[in-house]
Amino acid sequence: MFMLERRMDISRKASSLFVLLSLLLAFFVTGLIFHLLGVDVAQFYSTICNVFITPALLLQAVFRSIPIILASLGLVVAFRMGFWNIGAEGQIYLGMIAATGIVILHVSYGAIPASLMLVAMGVASFLAGGAWCLIPASLKVRLGVNEVLTTLMLNYIAMLFTDYLVYGPWRDPEGWGFALSIPFPEYATLKYCGNPSTVGIVISVAVAGFVYFLFKYTKLGFTLSVLGKSSDVAKYAGMQAGRATLLGSIISGGMAGLGGLYVVSGMMGRLRPRASPGYGYTAIIVAMLVQLNPWLILPAGVFFGGLLTAGDALQSSLRLPFSAITVFQSVIFLCIILAEFFRRYRVVLRRL
Amino acid sequence: MDKSVRKISRREFLGVTKAVAIGGIVAAGIAGGVSGYLARTPEVKEVTKTVAAWPPVEGLRPIKVGYVYVGPVGDYGWSYGHDRGRRWADERFKNVESFYIESVPEPEVISAIESLVAKGCELIITTSFGFMDGTAEAAGKYPDKYFVHISGYRSGAAGNAPQNMSAAFAEFYQLYYLCGLAAGAITQTGVIGYVGAYPIPEVVRHINAYILGAQYAYKKRTGKNIKAHVTWLFSWVAPEDARLAASALIDDKNCDVLNYTEDTPAVLMVAEDYQKKGRKVWSFSHYSDMRAYGPTAHLTGPVANWGPIYLDFYRMVATNTWQSVDIWSRVGDYMPWRWRQPLEKSTAGKEEGTVYLAPISPVIPNEWVNLIKQRYEEMKEYLFEPFTVEGHDPDGKEPIRDQDGNVRIGPGERADRGTLWSMDWLVEYIEEPLPK
């Protein structure tokens, strides 16, 4: 009879091998499906690989992945402390709102000098995203409310609040009544510092380094990891669990807020309703995929951005519909989950 | 369960559309036009109404065209309509290879455009308002490529984008006015409804045009003013919400003619359900001929064909005669025959140009069908415009007022493009205020 046995001795090397194998399996299975549908599989594979070896395409992949990466890094902090933050999407929206708010303050009242704009926007979007995440965190600490529900529900509030702003008080007076904010002046966009993709890489690497440093060298990071393993242990050890949760949630939401800054300031150049196509949700998958390792988030995020870019190429070259790309991504997820299962358990044949 | 039912009927509908659009009109048109193509002797022909096909394009260099859609082409709504336009233009231009990328999120439009540029496309058409800034940016980055953005306000012609970018839109307000005439002619309760997507000027002017038409017809018929209700969905595609909103307008507000801006036939289907239950409720097509969804409840409706606009841009690029334009295509534009027709020859309810009426239901009394046809024909020659005192009041006296009673369009005035583009007020007959 087949039994499942938990693996206790899994090494880091073996576990990355499992992830790689699962990706290969996904490529193989998708190729098989498309082959049966009459798609030229060789071209299918070369189109995808092409994205990762052509510099211009790779830069596009990076461009699309930055908000995912930033939100994902925030989730690493939250998940490591056992705070199941599903609200990165809403925190991204708050980051967008705060950044836009600073631009409007500047343009309408001249409150902030132009040279400090990007810094001010960065701080504001971090704080806004953090504050948005602080709400469910304090509800959890004070009242014991389950954060999965509150973070998720706050996403819709953030999205609708963005709608309200761009349809209402923040509507561009020169936008013919369409729902958009004023365009950001040049110095309030990331283009001011260079190519948005390059700027995004620098920010992402810095943030990843920060997360690594936080958990490796700081007391707060240690407290958070203990909290994540067992909140009781943290309590018995006399750690200030509540305070750490609140601080961690601010950091987590703040990073998603930076993702929001990137969307408005690096990608769109103004605020629009429903500006995020679900970056905050993709971020959850990316964070889980790399088992909460901050450095691995970077390649994993770019990989997902690359799949999206490959999707564009597949649509134009092989004339596959967008749903084909969805199929491909779904197969990848399934294979990763499968690999995760076999990483944790081994199947043994046992005689009863 | 409900979903699968809708899917099947949607497919059925596609079949009908194909049969009607491609089988009927294209075949008839091509039969006439293509005979010349086969003979390969260019000849000057007398322009007649049967020349629905465009002159065959020959000897032009081949072009590659890329389209960026915001939704999936199978949505049977906005993106589907643009893809139909793409195929329409491709079929006629022949020497073209076109590509599209669907379901593109707004912040990533530049990536999609770059993929198409890498594919060798020299004309790129982006079909969602949110793609506007990204398209302008790409136009600046690729000055030797051509860009067309649909439904926005940035173009070289307008002076707020590079010269290799054009803007285009197929505008419906005139057709909504004609729908309003039908509504005012048939309503028994004197109360009509509108299910709106978003409170943006495009939808606001469509609502106003619809209500003005209804007021004109109802006032002329009964001497009383029309009453109107508007519900907002805050979504372009929300069939379930649209269904609920439509039912509420019928049950709670006593509306019996419903128009809408939503990318599915949901409202029309609700009206059809009420008809089956014996209550007379009417509705319209939207963007495509949707008669199949409400054979009894369907009155007429605004329909768009983006094909002629696209074909126009193909030719500009292939003949190296690009000029940045800001097109707002209305009744009469892109029609081979831009003249008023006598009533018996009116083309109202037939496919032509870029915006036209879906077939007009025989339940509308004859005198009103004739008025609809007359107005439609007059619009081709700019002889009639909805946003005028004459379009509002049968006696041609009452100015158009907003909900606060301010006169917006007085005698002798005609709403200009700027007024229509940025319309942020509702006409007086509507009960609900405009959300701000």
Local confidence band at B57 (pLDDT 50, 70, 90 cut-offs): low
Q: Is a pLDDT exceeding 90 seen at residue B44?
A: no
CB–CB contact A177 B101 (8 Å): no
Residue A241 is predicted with a pLDDT of 83
pLDDT in tens, B221-247: 999 999 999 999 988 888 899 999 999
Q: Which residues of A touch B (CB under 8 A)?
A: 56-57, 60, 63-64, 67, 163, 167-168, 175-179, 183, 263, 267-270, 272, 274-277, 308-309, 312-313, 315-317, 319, 321-323
Q: Degrees (nearest 5) of the Cα angle B141, B131, B236? A: 175
Question: How many CA atoms are closer than 13 Å to the CA of B371, on its beta-carbon side?
Answer: 23
CA A185, CA A108: separation in Å to the nearest integer? 12
- Tally C-beta pairs within 8 A across A and B: 95
CB–CB contact A312 B105 (8 Å): no
Which residues, given as ranges, of chain A have pLDDT below 70?
1, 10, 351-352
Residue A330 is predicted with a pLDDT of 85
pLDDT in tens, B274-287: 999 999 999 999 98
In B, which residues are within 8 Å of A312 by CB distance? 101, 104, 111-112, 115-116
CB–CB contact A316 B100 (8 Å): yes
Local confidence band at B4 (pLDDT 50, 70, 90 cut-offs): very low
Q: Residue count of chain A, please give it.
A: 352
pLDDT in tens, B174-203: 999 999 999 999 999 999 999 999 888 899
Residue B167 burial by Cβ neighbours in a 10 Å radius (0-12, 13-18, 19+): buried
Of B66, B111, B200, the CB nearest to A309: B111
Listed in sequence order, the residues at least 6 apart from A27 whose beta carbon sits closer than 8 Å to its beta carbon are: A45, A48
CB–CB contact B106 A274 (8 Å): yes
Contact with chain A for residue B416, Cβ under 8 A: no
CB–CB contact A315 B435 (8 Å): no
Residue A114 is predicted with a pLDDT of 82
Which of A89, A181, A315 would you mutate first to test chain B, the one with the most B CBs within 10 A?
A315
CB–CB contact A312 B100 (8 Å): no
CA B109, CA B121: separation in Å to the nearest integer? 15
User: CB neighbours (10 Å) of residue A294?
Assistant: 24
In A, which residues are within 8 Å of B160 by CB distance? none
Local confidence band at B331 (pLDDT 50, 70, 90 cut-offs): very high
Residue B49 is predicted with a pLDDT of 41
Torsion of CA B368, B372, B375, B380, to 10 degrees: -160
Residue A120 is predicted with a pLDDT of 93
User: Which one is predicted more confidently, B211 or A326?
Assistant: B211
pLDDT in tens, A173-224: 888 878 889 999 988 898 888 888 889 999 999 999 999 999 999 989 888 8
Which of A59, A197, A276, A316 would you mutate first to test chain B, the one with the most B CBs within 10 A?
A316
Quick one: tokens of A256? 């998603």
Quick one: tokens of B231? 């519900």
pLDDT in tens, A71-111: 999 999 999 999 999 999 999 999 999 999 999 999 888 87
Residues paired with B329 in a beta bridge: B170
Q: Is a pLDDT exceeding 60 seen at residue B43?
A: no
Residue B3 is predicted with a pLDDT of 38
User: CB neighbours (10 Å) of residue A338?
Assistant: 15
DSSP of B338-368: -S---GGG--TTS--SSEEEPPPPTTS-HHH
pLDDT in tens, B390-426: 999 999 899 999 999 999 999 999 999 889 988 999 9
Cα B16 to chain centroid distance, Å, stands at: 19
Of B66, B72, B118, the CB nearest to A322: B72
Contact with chain A for residue B196, Cβ under 8 A: no
Q: Is a pLDDT exceeding 90 seen at residue B216?
A: yes
Residue B50 is predicted with a pLDDT of 42
Residue in B349, B316, B311 with CA at minimum distance from that of residue B331 = B349
Residue B223 is predicted with a pLDDT of 94
Residues paired with B165 in a beta bridge: B147
Q: Residue count of chain B, please give it.
A: 436
pLDDT in tens, B119-173: 899 999 999 999 999 999 999 999 999 999 999 999 999 999 999 999 999 999 9
Residue in A311, A272, A304 with CA at minimum distance from that of residue B104 = A311
Listed in sequence order, the residues at least 6 apart from B285 whose beta carbon sits closer than 8 Å to its beta carbon are: B265, B268, B291, B298, B300, B301, B302, B303, B358
CA B81, CA A59: separation in Å to the nearest integer? 32
Q: Is a pLDDT exceeding 70 seen at residue B38?
A: no
Q: Is a pLDDT exceeding 50 seen at residue B14?
A: no
Q: Is a pLDDT exceeding 90 seen at residue B254?
A: yes
Cβ(A197)–Cβ(A309) below 8 Å: no
Residue B56 is predicted with a pLDDT of 59
User: CB neighbours (10 Å) of residue A337?
Assistant: 12
- Three-state DSSP class for B201? helix
Give the start-end residues of each E strand in A121-160: none
- Amino acid, single-letter form, for residue A304: F
